[in-house]
Amino acid sequence: MPSLKEVRNRIVSVNSTQQITKAMKMVAAAKLRRAQDSIVQMRPFARKLSQMLSTVSATADAAQTSPYKQVRIVERVLIVVVTSDRGLAGAFNANVTKATMALINEKYAAQRAAGRVEILAIGKRGSEFFNRRGFTVNGTYVDTFTRLSFATVRQAAEEIMKAYTEGRYDAVDVVYNEFKNIATQIIRAEPFLPVPEQAETKNAVVNDYIFEPSEEEIINELIPKTLKIQLYKAVLESNAAEHGARMTAMDKATDNAGELLKELKLVYNRSRQAAITKEILEIVGGAEALSAK
């Protein structure tokens, strides 16, 4: 049985940890509310922009000549991995990296064997994971979530789009956590470039639109803007999902600390009782020895 001092030290340590996890849960909850508001406002805009692009693409031949819709033989691949910069969020980062590895092994196994799969990491955790495994990490955006803004994500999107049009990559995919609710995040692995054909495009009713300015100008303006918005939406989803995952993880950690405190206090009381009983027995034994003389 551990000594009373050891048990007391453990109780103090666990109690301090519980206070930290409670504080982290409250901080995550405050950040989650803001992040949730941002993604809820962004989703309708991103959806409508994609629908608009699909509608215009259904009637415009210019869409097929866009450099962002050119389908090439896939030899070089870029995977955009959206993780967090910090841990203590449960399996949030592990789920993204696991899904990315599954995507590479199932879809791009030949390219990986040839060393032609590169990673662009938005978030420190993803960069660290793939660096340790020998992947070429072609760019890391750290502290993106600290100063999360469209300008920061737009810079990343423009770099990706430029690399694709220059032929450095033949396919670009994005892997991220989609926010559903506080306790649930859905892993998404979506093609980013070439621009995938939407279901709305296949089933769209062709109407006789009058375009002003020209079809080509509208397409050339819509596609880059849609790509930037889609990447920004993915980062916003991941941001909200991270705070939800951290809030859930800290809540569970607080509950576990409470259970551990109960057990430690029980052990402490038993140890204390055993020590008191031992002292009483020693006193009684000493008194009997004295009376015997």
CATH at residue 208: 3.40.1380.10
Question: Are 158 and 67 in a shared domain?
Answer: yes
198 and 113 in a common domain: yes
Q: Domain check: are 132 and 210 in the same one?
A: yes
User: Which CATH number does the domain housing residue 284 bear?
Assistant: 1.10.287
Q: Are 68 and 164 in contact (CB under 8 A)?
A: yes
Partner residues linked to 77 by β-bridges: 117, 171
Asked whether residue 281 falls in the same domain as residue 138, the answer is no
Verify that 201 and 255 share a domain, yes or no.
no
A 10 A CB-CB count for 210 gives 4
Whether 141 and 158 map to the same domain: the answer is yes
pLDDT in tens, the chain (293 residues): 667 888 889 999 999 999 999 999 999 999 999 999 999 999 999 888 888 777 776 666 655 677 888 888 999 999 999 999 988 898 999 999 999 999 999 999 999 999 999 999 999 999 999 999 999 998 778 888 887 889 889 999 999 999 999 999 999 999 999 999 888 899 999 999 988 776 544 555 555 666 677 777 777 888 899 999 999 999 999 999 999 999 999 999 999 999 999 999 998 888 888 878 888 888 877 777 777 66
Model-level pTM? 0.84
Number of separate domains in the chain: 2
Residue-wise over 82-100: b if at least 16 C-beta within 10 A, else e?
Answer: bbbbeeebbebbebbbebb
Residues 205 and 122 in one domain: yes
- Does 197 lie in the same domain as 239? yes
* Alpha-carbon gap, residue 86 to 78, rounded angstroms: 23
Q: Which domain covers residue 146, as residue numbers?
A: 27-249
Does one domain contain both 212 and 69? yes
Cα–Cα distances (Å) from 156 to 160, 176, 232, in that order, read 6, 15, 10
Domain check: are 184 and 169 in the same one?
yes
- Judgement on whether residues 49 and 173 belong to the same structural domain of the protein: yes
Other Cβ atoms less than 10 A from the Cβ of 2: the count is: 13
**240 and 257, same domain (yes or no):** no
Which H or E element spans position 11?
Answer: helix 4-59
